[in-house]
Chain A
Amino acid sequence: MNALVPLPVLLPLCVTGLKLAIGPRLHRFQRFISIAVLGAVLVLSVILMVAADRHGPLSVHLGDFAPPVGITLVADRLAGLMLTVSSAVTLLVLVYSLGQGMADRDDQAPVGVFHPAYLILVAGVSCTFLAGDLVNLYVGFEIMLVASFVLLTIGGTATRIRAGSTYVIISLFSSVLFLVAIAMTYAVAGTVNLAQLAERLQEVPLGARTLLEAMLLTVFAIKAAVFPLAAWLPDSYPTAPAPVTAVFAGLLTKVGVYSMLRTQTLLFPGHRLGDLLMLAALASMAVGILGAVAQTDLKRVLSFTLISHIGYMVFGIALAGRGSIAGAIVYVAHHITVQTTLFLVAGLIERRDGTTELTRLGGLAKAAPLLAVLFFVPAMNLAGIPPLSGFIGKLGLMRAGVADGGGWAWALVAGSAATSLLTLYVMAKVWNLAFWRDAPPGAEEEGLVLESAEDDDPDDDPDDGERPTGSGSGLPVPAGAVVAAGFLGQSITTTQRLPWPMVVATGAAVSLGLSYTVLGGPLTTFTQAAATELLARTPYIEAVLGR
């Protein structure tokens, strides 16, 4: 059973190699192996999750080096759950992107560039979830990041290069910081193996330990987009192709949250920086959701809600009780699914109407009822309407906050309630603008807020307002800051009939989100067990060090 642990990392990497060897040929075969390998990873992840639940954490020492020296991969309950959710989501997004690529008939491009980069991204994410030491965690992050650089700038258009450079530089900085933290950890404790660190860090002086904790938290907070370090996210995500944005929004930030969860529980129990984390969580919630209220582009709205909902997970980690950790784990699983689904729906809207700018959308509920349903369910799920999984996660977190009873905890409970309401408000606004109202007249011509704010002057003559026909060249210029761009940055193809693989994949993602409600009981039991395991620490340490 333990031999299965490295496979979620190895399989995608091997298939990437195969794909690069094949080159831009055999498109059907290439598509087939991409889907097959991600399907295999999903099956493996489920097996690992079940096995970790039954027999405790599984660990593998690569190359058979004794534990503190070699590279260790560990799959416990948390890692198993994260792997399962992430591989399910990546599989769905792959199907979606295949639908988009096939419909656009740009066969070569996705298979040639997108698929290898995507599979490497999956391998990197799996590597991070399974990493048993800090350096391996770092390497997993880097695999994931380099692949994400390629995906974010795919096509190399001016906007994507600009957005990509912010992302690359920020990522580079956080990687460097991570390396510094690793160097300091090694200097202090003489090991980078997480299990051994968990034991040795207890004897390290408090000051040094707090410094390490703060550095690691900073690194992971950059990756997870926690408030003071989140400004890069809405800047860089919305320009990428829809499937890429979806998988980034769903997974990459959660990898940061996962690392935070792992290191905080395993290495730094007793949460010395808990108050600071709570402050960051509250600020993330508030700033993120207020940013979302102000935006008029659907993708940017979703990027800002992403930041605000990261606050919930940080809240759970900061409280560090059994209930709150369990709540945070549920919330991570829920949020990966829902955020990905919403971005997929945004991609469908973009495909249908050529834009995600809310001032130019309208009448979608009548024109595309299926799309409306596909948006409505995850939107309500994000806001946390009772039967859905967002409610389960928020309920768990709030109950943990009330049980904790401290001043900060109460502030955060209030903050998260307010954030839920504001999320509902934002989602209702999107719903009203894009789906419920009639299509805005003249939306084709000019639709930006700037323009509508322009001509309301009573003193102004109607005759002097020359009709905007674009500028300079005399060509009509589409309004809207985020102009839709297709897979490789060419102007997007809009079709009234959406390609069926895209719709099916989105529908499957919606049902995955709903399944958390149906499986609410088992899910809660499982996450409670995972939280107990994380807080006890001994199962993990014993599984790795073999005692």
Chain B
Amino acid sequence: MTVSLSLLVAAAVLNAVGASLLLTRSLTRILLGAVVLGNGVNLLVLASTGSAGEAPLLYPYIIRNRVTDPLPQAIALTAIVITLATTAFLLAMAYRSHQVTGSDEISDDTEDRLVALRAEFLDRRGELRERYREARAEDGGADAEQRARYRAARKRLRRRVREERAYQARANDVSGNLWNDILGADPEDYREGRELGSTDAAGRPGPAPARVAGPSNDPEETGREPDSLPGEDSCHPPPDQPDDPEGAGTEGTR
């Protein structure tokens, strides 16, 4: 069996492009990746025919061994139809994702975030406690100011955990309006906050933007300007300085 090299090269390029698009976070890019990948694989299926021949129409006097094998074409047609259906579904999903979260990017698993946050929380707390005890041992007693600082830092840490949890809990909440839940509310409603019950983590009306509404992006909580690039790290809340006692101290004297 001889196969046209150009077919194989084209299939390889399409597959490579499709696969790398599939690895991104944005659903729209993934959609494009799925389409390109589907085409690449269809070319591969066609390549399994071998060299091209005449059209596989069985009229009289046709020389049967010069006809192209029609079976891979049938397989490719089936695959095209299936790709079409999947693409339509992905498109709908990207649109719906945009509607409910304000972006079509896939966020991390909430349970994964929880596990990561738990580890980080315990680490940070241990560190704080360690430092506080050291300081106390040096001074030979609990200094009121230090104590206040320590407590303030701990309080912030706890608040952050609670924020995260509230965010997660709210991500699960929807309006309860059946019609909107199936068909989707008007995006305009979301923007103006008219959609009942869809509030983000901070209680602001409107859809919770997946990344901006994450914890520790509020100037009050972190003691610094809100992230100008909130999308940089969606997996873990960015490490924020004020958790350490020094930062807490400057804030406490204010």
Contacts and interface: CB of A to CB of B under 8 A. Distances in A.
B96 A180 contact: no
> SS class of chain B's interface: helix, strand, loop or mixed?
helix
A454 B125 CA distance: 9
Given A156-B100, A473-B203, A461 B151 contact: yes
Most chain B CB atoms below 10 A, which of A149, A165, A491: A165
Contact of A477 (B34, B90, B165): B165
Contact of A187 (B1, B132, B208): B1
Most chain A CB atoms below 10 A, which of B117, B163, B166, B201: B166
Interface string A351-376: 00000000000000000000000000
Contact of B22 (A166, A173, A453, A488): A173
A471 B129 contact: no
A88 B133 CA distance: 63
A394 B149 CA distance: 59
B118 A478 contact: no
Given A168-B93, A172-B34, A471-B163, A157 B202 contact: no
Interface string A134-175: 010011001000100110010111110111111011001101
A276 to B, nearest CB: 23
Nearest to B148: A464
A69 B70 CA distance: 11
B203 A175 contact: no
B33 to A, nearest CB: 9
Interface residues of B, number: 73
Nearest to B37: A176
Contacts of B168: 481
Contacts of A450: 114, 117-118, 121, 161, 165
A309 interface: no
A63 interface: no
Contact of A179 (B45, B71, B163, B202): B45
Given A156-B184, A162-B107, A483-B173, A468 B162 contact: yes
Given A146-B85, A146-B86, 18 more contacts: A109-B182, A142-B85, A146-B82, A161-B93, A162-B101, A162-B109, A172-B22, A172-B86, A179-B42, A450-B161, A470-B166, A472-B166, A472-B203, A477-B162, A479-B169, A483-B169, A490-B181, A491-B173
Interface of A: 69, 106, 108-109, 113, 135, 138-139, 142, 146, 149-150, 153, 155-159, 161-166, 168-169, 172-173, 175-176, 179-180, 182-184, 186-187, 192, 235, 297, 300, 448-450, 453-454, 457, 459-461, 464-466, 468, 470-475, 477-483, 485, 488-491
